Amino acid sequence: MLLMISLAGCGKEDIVTNVGKLDFDQPLKLPPLIEPTIESDGTKNFTLTMQSGETELLPGKIADTWGINGAYLGPTIRVSRGDKVSFNVVNSLNEPSTLHWHGMRLPAKMDGGPHQMVDAGETWTPHWTIDQPSATTWYHPHLHGKTAQHVYKGLAGMFIIDDEDSKKLPSEYGVDDIPLIIQDKLFTNEGQLTEDEEGVFGTLGDEILVNGTYDPYLEVKTSQVRFRLLNGSNARAYNFGFSDGRAFKLVGNDAGLLEEPVTLERFMLSPGERAEIVVEFEPGEETVLHSFSGNTGLDNGEFDLVKIVAASELEESAPVTGQLSSVPPIEAPKDARVRQFKLTMENKINDKLMDMYRIDEVVPAGATEIWEINNFGWSHNFHIHNAAFRVLDINDKPPSEYERGRKDTVFIPNGSKVRIVVEFGKHADPNFPFMYHCHLLRHEDDGMMGQFLLVEPGTESEVPTTLPNNGTSGEHQGHH
């Protein structure tokens, strides 16, 4: 049904919408900040338990959901650049899952991808040092074939990295620094989550949850508020803007702050992408964060997301101007290696489906390369693990103003050629791969994913292109 509408591109009456249906009477839920325990060497240790539970997603109706340290979604992790972190990822579900740190620079073994399965009842204990610029990252399951289902049921959370640059922006969590995890859902009449098994893109819902809240409002008390938007949806893309058309400042893309704020009225996020914006408020005013419909097949909807109400007296905070990030933009060296990727209608990359045993690319650790992605079918996006990139051009034209910063996921329109300059992480490991893939979760589960090794420069030709034992090299993954 939803597919037919998007392909036919019919008139406005056919657009999926919740506009006019909401009362905005539920206070927006805020994922709690999780407190670490501090180990003797200063490492911040977090325990994250994946569990099942029940949640009142729609008013008066109980849904079976999954969450982390709770029944739906997970806590916000917040650390600073330079911190040593460790995790106890406890799987209390009745089936295996994984937890991947989307946007994180770290050793492949700690990445939480399909090779780091955590069996039911087991605990996985990854650890690394946070070494990347401030960013709004996130965590979610990444098991091969079932990522869509596990995320849809509620396994996801935000992972904020601070540094000296980011602390100059509004930073008081829940006060003037607000996470917004946007997810579309389909519900049964009883209020249970349900999926569209047919859709070419996966489930496109007709209701919206923000931080797991239906019908939300948020009261703000400062004149400048930073919002961290995460598109945590399986397939839907959002064209964000405000109901009153107000302008706001984009200050960060997926992988970090911009050099300078960019004034915008609209921007798009496809699944997995994040943005940080700063919005200015006058005392007593109200506006609604809205998603406008588009024609990508992923954004065939018009949605009110959350009403924002400014208190009658606001604490004045300084407007955001001037330099934000002190990190230079990612530039390609003259002799940068160029790799090409072809995306197709069959959800293949370079004519192949994901194979857990096959290495598709071998990249020297720390390299900066140009990846050229050509899309021959449907809308897709492209995410690379353990990397940050800058979009060079889309069909030989500069990218939109809202996607010129550091990113780890980019929308790839149907029929387009997108070139990105990718800065890879420095952690080499010839035995454990990282992933690149479409972040439309049904496509990812269908196999629209490839594996790359990061290896010591100069050893590229020495590493095998098949992985023994499913890439786990016989090593126990995180048993306790």
Q: Among 271, 192, 197, 182, which residue's Cα sits nearest to residue 229? A: 182
The smaller minimum CB distance to ligand C2O, of residues 115 and 383, is found at 383
407 to each of 136, 353, 382, 386, 440, how far by Cα in Å? 11, 25, 11, 11, 17
Question: Cβ distance 309 to 218 under 8 Å?
Answer: yes
Stretch that binds ligand C2O, among 282-290, 368-376, 418-426, 433-441 (CB under 6 A): 433-441
Task: Identify the residue among 249, 383, 407, 419 touching ligand C2O (CB under 6 A).
Answer: 383
| Least Cβ distance, residue 408 to ligand C2O (angstroms) | 8
- Residue 141 CA to residue 129 CA, distance in Å, equals 21
228 lies in the site for ligand C2O, by CB under 6 A: no
The smaller minimum CB distance to ligand C2O, of residues 223 and 270, is found at 270
Within positions 258 to 287, which residues make up the interface with ligand C2O, using CB under 6 A? 272
| Least Cβ distance, residue 330 to ligand C2O (angstroms) | 20
Question: Cβ distance 365 to 455 under 8 Å?
Answer: yes
Assigned token pair, 89? 């990822």
249 lies in the site for Cu ion, by CB under 5 A: no
**Phi/psi of residue 444, each to 5°?**
-60, -50
The smaller minimum CB distance to Cu ion, of residues 418 and 440, is found at 440
Within positions 434 to 453, which residues make up the interface with ligand C2O, using CB under 6 A? 435, 437, 439
| Least Cβ distance, residue 272 to ligand C2O (angstroms) | 5
The smaller minimum CB distance to ligand C2O, of residues 170 and 425, is found at 425
Question: Cβ distance 206 to 236 under 8 Å?
Answer: no
Q: Among 70, 93, 66, 6, which residue's Cα sits nearest to residue 295? A: 6
Helix (H, G, I), strand (E, B) or coil at 339: strand
385 lies in the site for ligand C2O, by CB under 6 A: yes
Within positions 417 to 446, which residues make up the interface with Cu ion, using CB under 5 A? 438, 440, 443
Query: Shortest Cβ contact with ligand C2O: which residue?
Result: 102
What's the half-sphere exposure (Cβ side, CA atoms, 13 Å) at 383?
A: 29
DSSP string, 75-125: PBEEEETT-EEEEEEEE-SSS-B--EEET----GGGS-STTS-B-TT-EE-
Residues in the chain, overall count: 480
Total of chain residues touching ligand C2O, rule CB under 6 A = 10
Residue type, 243: S
Task: Identify the residue among 18, 46, 73, 102 touching ligand C2O (CB under 6 A).
Answer: 102
Stretch that binds ligand C2O, among 58-66, 119-127, 332-340, 431-439 (CB under 6 A): 431-439
Question: Which residues sit at the interface with Cu ion, rule CB under 5 A?
Answer: 102, 380, 385, 438, 440, 443
Question: Which residues sit at the interface with ligand C2O, rule CB under 6 A?
Answer: 100, 102, 140, 142, 272, 383, 385, 435, 437, 439
